[in-house]
Structures are given as structure tokens and as C-alpha cells.
Amino acid sequence: MGRFDGRESPISVRYEPASVKDLLVEMKDTAELLIDLSYSAVLHGSPTIAHEVVELEHRMDVLQMRARMSLMLAARSPDEAETLAPVLGVVGAADKISDAAGDIAKIVIEEIGLPDAMRGALTEGVETLVRGTVAGDSPYAGRTLKEVDLESETGVRVIAIRREDDWILNPGPTTRLDSGDVTLLRGPETGIAEAYPELASEPFEPDEPVEPAIDDLERAVDSIVLMKNLSELAVDLAYGSVLFNNEALAEEVHNLEIEVDALQSRFEAWTLRAAREADDPVSLRGLIHLGVATEEISDAALEITEGVVRDLGVHPVVEMAVQESDEIITRTVVQAGSDLDGTRIEAGIPATDISTSVIALRRPDEGWLIGHDIDTTLRAGDAIISKGTRTSAEEFEALAA
């Protein structure tokens, strides 16, 4: 395998004995981080974050090739080939998500650019994401995330760490920050302004705010934001459907993909209308680039679910990956007269004694509500996508019945 993407030489990959389960989990985590970083790079016009997307994309290339090698060696009979085929689909789809994220990052790297008005509308209400290198004299160097306690003090989370060529994709309380670590920080701008100078020993310089100016452009921006949110949710649900062999989640991925396709058509129409009013229509090229890549992510999510939809079963390697995780994603429909009918949700947390969080909700007459800040009252017919433990999922389902 060889890809250049700005590198002087192609990446060389040799077979190494590796757990397919571990490779799948790492590919899932990498794909989700790639989506997050690529949009952040564009929204903040950040070449440094775009550079991290390219580095992660190279890492995904290696992961998917190693996974393919391991899966080819694992298929020893027609029956095994049948159950491994969907796993190959998962591997291929994760690579497509990686490529789409790389295309989004190229908007910044190749200076395709986006209209300033669009960036102003997109960043409204979005948490800040910055890349910072741990300085040698930082008070955080040599301490664990629990000792630093950034999230409690500032609301800032360390979502990933790059240590030379290695990535720590899900840093936890015991993860230690070392001098020279490249960290990705997410949180409110006020928290970033407090934490970043302590970590990097240099001042934090926020983006200058910009006001959207063209009505049709605002409509296009609204569409792309919704497309982004729906595509991210589709990826989450697609992996959930495979890991838990859940046809209901796979069906929601199909619904999401249809909606993203419809949004893509409206988005293109509004972008073309906005071009009539723009001083420089070529400046909208990046916006079109972003729309195409976003739609490709939702298509890849649908591809992940193919094995579940075709009832090919779940390979044991996937079951092993599931057994290590106590947190699952479930789809629950609120029945009329149930305990959940009329229950209030605030900031994504339902007013119940069950420890679960709502990450999305589809209402028959209103469409999707997405995000951890959902505030609404549940009613009959609502389809809830929630995340929690296996025990809490069973209890939540009982309340909805």
C-alpha cells in the first residue's frame, strides 16, 4: 500500500500478528476522532489541526491494511468467510470515513477556503478545539489527567494525545501528560483561554468573530451543520448496530442517510443561489467540497450496517470487542401511557433514576433533535437514541413500554 498525501515517501506496511478486535476498536475510535478534528480544522481555519487529520488519516490507512491482512488469514472455510465479509465492510467504511475527513481538512491545507460569513455562522455555539504541545516548564508535565483535573477546573477535556508517532485516542484519568505531547483540547473558549497558556506556555489567541451576511448562504450553512450532525450520529449508530447486532439501530442509519441525501440537494441549491450575491463566487468552492465529503460520511455509515441488514450474523471477533464494553447505544420508542410519556429531558438527561443519556431523538412530526443539550418533554412515538450501561438500557426500555 502506498499513499503520498504530502509525504515524501509512501507508507510501507508489513503483516504483523495483531488482534482484529483491537484493530476494529482502534479504527472506530480513529474514525470518530477524524470527523471531529476535520470539521474543527475547517471551522477554526486551523492548519495545525488539519495537519493532525492528515497524520491520523495515514494511521487509518495502516490500520485498515493490517485488519484486512488479519481477516484474510482468519477465513478458513465458507462459513467463516460469510461471517467475516461484514467485518471487511466495516473496515472499508472506516477507511472511507477517513478519506472524507482528509478531504475536509484539505479545505484548509490547500487553502480552498470558506466564506468568512459561513465560518462565523458555523462556529456559533460550537465548543473550541485547539492543538497544544505540552511545554517543558508546564505545571501539567509529568502529571496525570486526574491530578491536573482540567475538566473540573476549566470545563476543558483532553480528547486525544499524540506522542511522537503514537496516539492515545481515549485518554483517561491515569493518562500522564509528558513534555512534548501534542494534545487536542476541547471546551468553552473561556476555559481554553485559561488552560492553554498553562499547558503550552504561550498565550491563547481566539478567532475573530464574523457575522454571516447572505440569506441563502445562511440557509446553506444551516443545512451543512445539520448534515454534519446527522452524519456523525449515523456513524455512531452504525457501529452500535454492528457491535450489538441491532437491526433497529441499522434502520435508523438508513433513515439518517436518506435525510442527509435530501439535505445535500437543498444545500446545493442554496449554495448556487448564494453564488449570485457573493462578491467572489469561487470562494464558495470550499462549501461545496464540505457538502460532498459530509454526504460521503453518511454513505460510509450505511455501508457499516450491511451485515446487520442482510442478517449475516456477528463474527465472534466482534462479540469479543462488545464484551469489553459495558456502555451501549440503544434505540427506544416511547409508548403511549408509559412511564416515559411526559418525562422531561434536560441537557440530554431524562428525569428518571436511570443513569443513561439521550444523544438523539427522532420525533415523527418534527424530525431529529441531536446533541447532549436536548431539552424537551418526551411523548408517545418519540424514538430515543440513548447511551448507558446494559442494565440501565434494560430499565429504560421497561419505562418506555
Give CA–CA dist 314/141, Å, rounded.
Answer: 43
Cell of 230: 446527522
**31 pLDDT above the threshold of 70:** yes
Percent of the chain with pLDDT over 70: 83
Query: What are the angstrom distances between the C-alpha of 102 and each of 28, 75, 378?
Result: 16, 31, 38
Give CA–CA dist 356/370, Å, rounded.
Answer: 15
Give CA–CA dist 184/48, Å, rounded.
Answer: 11
DSSP string, 306-370: HHHHTT----HHHHHHHHT--EEEEEEEPPTTSTTTT-EEETTEESSSS-EEEEEEEETTTEEEE
Phi (first) and psi of residue 165, to 5 degrees: -100, 0
What pLDDT sits at residue 119?
A: 57
**CB-based burial label for 379 (10 Å; 0-12, 13-18, 19+):** middle
Mean pLDDT (the chain) is 80
In three-state secondary structure terms, 214 is coil
pLDDT (tens digit, 9 = 90+) per residue, 275-306? 777 777 777 788 888 888 989 999 999 988 88
Q: Give the residue, 358 or 253, on which the prediction is more confident.
A: 253
**5 pLDDT above the threshold of 50:** no
What pLDDT sits at residue 319?
A: 58
The stretch 195-218 carries a mean pLDDT of 72
* Best CA proximity match to 63, nearest among 103, 101, 13, 104: 13
**62 pLDDT above the threshold of 50:** yes
Contact by Cβ (8 Å): 255, 362: yes
What pLDDT sits at residue 322?
A: 53
Q: Give the residue, 200 or 276, on which the prediction is more confident.
A: 200
pLDDT band, residue 121 (cuts 50/70/90): low
Contact by Cβ (8 Å): 317, 24: yes
**CB-based burial label for 353 (10 Å; 0-12, 13-18, 19+):** exposed
pLDDT band, residue 137 (cuts 50/70/90): very high
**186 pLDDT above the threshold of 60:** yes
What pLDDT sits at residue 122?
A: 53
pLDDT band, residue 7 (cuts 50/70/90): very low
**118 pLDDT above the threshold of 60:** no
Q: Give the residue, 43 or 262, on which the prediction is more confident.
A: 262
Q: How much of the chain is in helix, strand and coil states, percent to nearest 5? A: 55, 15, 30
In three-state secondary structure terms, 134 is coil
Give CA–CA dist 347/33, Å, rounded.
Answer: 23
What pLDDT sits at residue 8?
A: 44
**56 pLDDT above the threshold of 80:** yes
The stretch 6-30 carries a mean pLDDT of 68
Q: Give the residue, 152 or 298, on which the prediction is more confident.
A: 298
What pLDDT sits at residue 2?
A: 38
The stretch 10-24 carries a mean pLDDT of 68
Give CA–CA dist 383/335, Å, rounded.
Answer: 10
Give CA–CA dist 169/256, Å, rounded.
Answer: 27
The stretch 161-165 carries a mean pLDDT of 87
pLDDT band, residue 389 (cuts 50/70/90): confident
**125 pLDDT above the threshold of 60:** no
Pairing type for strands 349-350 and 356-363 reads: unpaired
The stretch 50-60 carries a mean pLDDT of 89
Contact by Cβ (8 Å): 159, 128: no
Residue-wise burial string across 100-118, b where 16 or more C-beta atoms lie within 10 A, e elsewhere: bbbbbbbbbbeebbbbebb
Element (DSSP H or E) covering residue 68: helix 47-74
| pTM confidence score | 0.73
**321 pLDDT above the threshold of 80:** no
Query: What are the angstrom distances between the C-alpha of 22 and each of 74, 321, 360?
Result: 15, 7, 28
